[in-house]
């Protein structure tokens, strides 16, 4: 990866899914989800380290990088993103807390900076696993967590990662909710956008 980055990146992947129909019924326009995923070295693999601030800084860096890459895949203005989510998978020589250090303290701010807003909590998932472990990235509306049409998830996996000393970090964004959403609840048109919930 380019000079000056904290994260030692082995690989970046992007995924775009467009859903054109469900049960033979057209989805127009197609709903689209995109994810950007980085495979990085885990600086704390194989040992217990009390201070995880290095991983927090890496999270901040990846928050910006991966959000930009994922939005670019959708080809829309960043402000048009509707929902988001994040996830990490730690290789077998790391601990779950390493994923937490990347995802929770500092990753969110640059995500929101790129998107222009993001009042809602960024839903997240984490696990420890071997190479190819699937990550189900939870998705929720970026400005109001209770928007029911946007409760969703996107599965990603990297066949050759995480190796034992690596971490897979993923950010997903969408331009829409579920295809053919029809189970009621708060709609995106009803968002007040003040508390991040409704």
Partner 1 sequence: MHEVKVRKMVTVVEYIYHEGGPVAEKPLRRAAALAVIHNPFAGSFFLEIQDFMEDLKPLGLAMANSLVSALGGAVSEIEGYGKGAIVGAAGELEHGALWHAPGGYGMREVLGGAKAIVASTKKVGGPGTRLDVPITHINASYVRSHFDSMEVGIADSPRADEILLALVMTSGPRIHNRAGGLAASEIQGKDGLR
Residues contributing to the site for partner 1 (CB under 8 A): 1, 9-22, 24, 30, 73, 134, 155, 159
CA distance 146 to 58: 30
- CB 8 → partner 1: shortest distance, Å? 9
- Cα–Cα distances in Å, from 81 out to 94, 136, 178? 33, 19, 14
Contact criterion met (CB below 8 Å) for 13 and 37? yes
Q: Smaller CB distance to partner 1: residue 137 or 191?
A: 137
Q: Smaller CB distance to partner 1: residue 126 or 157?
A: 157
Q: Smaller CB distance to partner 1: residue 69 or 98?
A: 69
Q: Smaller CB distance to partner 1: residue 26 or 185?
A: 26
- CB 137 → partner 1: shortest distance, Å? 12
- CB 94 → partner 1: shortest distance, Å? 17
C-beta neighbour count of 123 within 10 angstroms: 20
CA distance 106 to 178: 28
62: exposed, middle or buried (C-beta count within 10 Å: 0-12, 13-18, 19+)?
A: buried
- CB 67 → partner 1: shortest distance, Å? 16
- Cα–Cα distances in Å, from 7 out to 102, 119, 151, 163? 11, 27, 30, 16
Q: Smaller CB distance to partner 1: residue 4 or 184?
A: 4
CA distance 139 to 123: 6
Q: Smaller CB distance to partner 1: residue 18 or 92?
A: 18
- CB 142 → partner 1: shortest distance, Å? 23
φ, ψ of residue 172 to 5 degrees: the values are -120, 145
- CB 147 → partner 1: shortest distance, Å? 23
């Amino acid at each position: 990866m380019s000079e000056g980055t904290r994260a030692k990146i082995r690989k970046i992947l992007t995924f775009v899914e467009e859903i054109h129909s469900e049960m033979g019924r057209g989805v127009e326009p197609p709903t689209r989800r995109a994810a950007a995923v980085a495979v990085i070295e885990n600086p704390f693999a194989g040992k217990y380290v009390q201070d995880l601030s290095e991983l927090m800084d890496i999270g901040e860096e990846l928050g910006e990088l991966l959000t930009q890459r994922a939005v670019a895949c959708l080809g829309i203005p960043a402000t048009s993103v509707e929902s988001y989510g994040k996830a990490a998978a730690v290789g077998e020589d790391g601990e779950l807390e390493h994923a937490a250090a990347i995802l929770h303290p500092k990753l969110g701010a640059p995500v929101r900076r790129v998107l222009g807003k993001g009042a809602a909590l960024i839903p997240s998932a984490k696990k420890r696993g071997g190479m190819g472990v699937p990550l189900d990235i939870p998705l929720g509306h970026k400005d109001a967590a209770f928007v029911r049409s946007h409760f969703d998830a996107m599965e990603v996996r990297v066949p050759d990662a995480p190796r034992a000393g690596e971490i897979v970090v993923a950010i997903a964004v969408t331009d829409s909710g579920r295809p053919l959403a029809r189970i009621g609840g708060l709609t995106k048109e009803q968002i007040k956008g003040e508390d991040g919930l409704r």
